[in-house]
Chain A
Amino acid sequence: SLELTQPLSVSVALGQTASLSCEGNNIGSKNVHWYQQRPGQAPVLVIYRDTNRPSGIPERFSGSNSGNTATLTISRAQAGDEADYYCQVWDVITVVFGGGTKLTVL
């Protein structure tokens, strides 16, 4: 079954750009969704179908997906972006989540 690999942690300076990766075999052929989870809260969908932002998600959040890597990019990082981020796909008939990346804003 498909496994999604995310770095355990990523750090970004305040106001700079963070790139969070999600690696999986031929993930570029699948729709990737990204979730933000702040401590003690339920996950929030921030990117769906690779590149789309739900209503209310800032334009600073963007996504891409090609080959074996999907990427969530957060521009002009803010303190409030500090959270865990999870990628997710459908693998045939099952849902798969990545292991999550903890984003620290310095």
Chain B
Amino acid sequence: QITLKESGPTLVNPTQTLTLTCTFSGFSLSTSGVGVGWIRQPPGKALEWLALIYWNEDKRYSPSLNSRLTITKDTSKKQVVLTMTNMVPVDTATYYCSHWDMIGVAGFEYWGQGILVTVSS
């Protein structure tokens, strides 16, 4: 059974750096074809993809946010960490992490519950 859970601060001051952790179980990030992605959703708005890291350390970022994002993984801890610098109020959103398998389903089949991050002073 695959599960994912996001953790981190729920309130961030403007200009600060956000660090979110995705802790997962039921799969290994050393398995060929597997990845973990981050997607966010501002209140009442659409889904927006942020970043994805593959089993082989390959990383992909949203072009519009590339300069502010860093994604890393700790395979042994079963964690993926996303950092986003210079947070501003429009970054207020629910942040989700999700399992990706490019060989199998090739969609985001398993999602965490999400964490609502508010950017405000």
Contact = CB atoms under 8 A, between A and B. Distances in A.
Interface of A: 1, 31, 33, 35, 37, 42-45, 48-49, 52, 54, 86, 88, 93-100
A95 B60 contact: yes
Interface string B108-120: 1101111000000
**Which of A48, A95, A98 has the most chain B CB atoms closer than 10 A to its own CB?**
A95
Contacts of B111: 42-44
A24 to B, nearest CB: 15
Interface in B32-57: 37, 39, 46-49, 52
Interface of B: 37, 39, 46-49, 52, 60-63, 96, 105-109, 111-114
Contacts of A37: 47
B97 to A, nearest CB: 10
B47 A48 contact: no
Contacts, number: 62
A37 B62 CA distance: 22
A64 B65 CA distance: 31
Given A1-B63, A42-B113, A43-B111, A98 B105 contact: no
A48 B106 contact: yes
A95 B106 contact: no
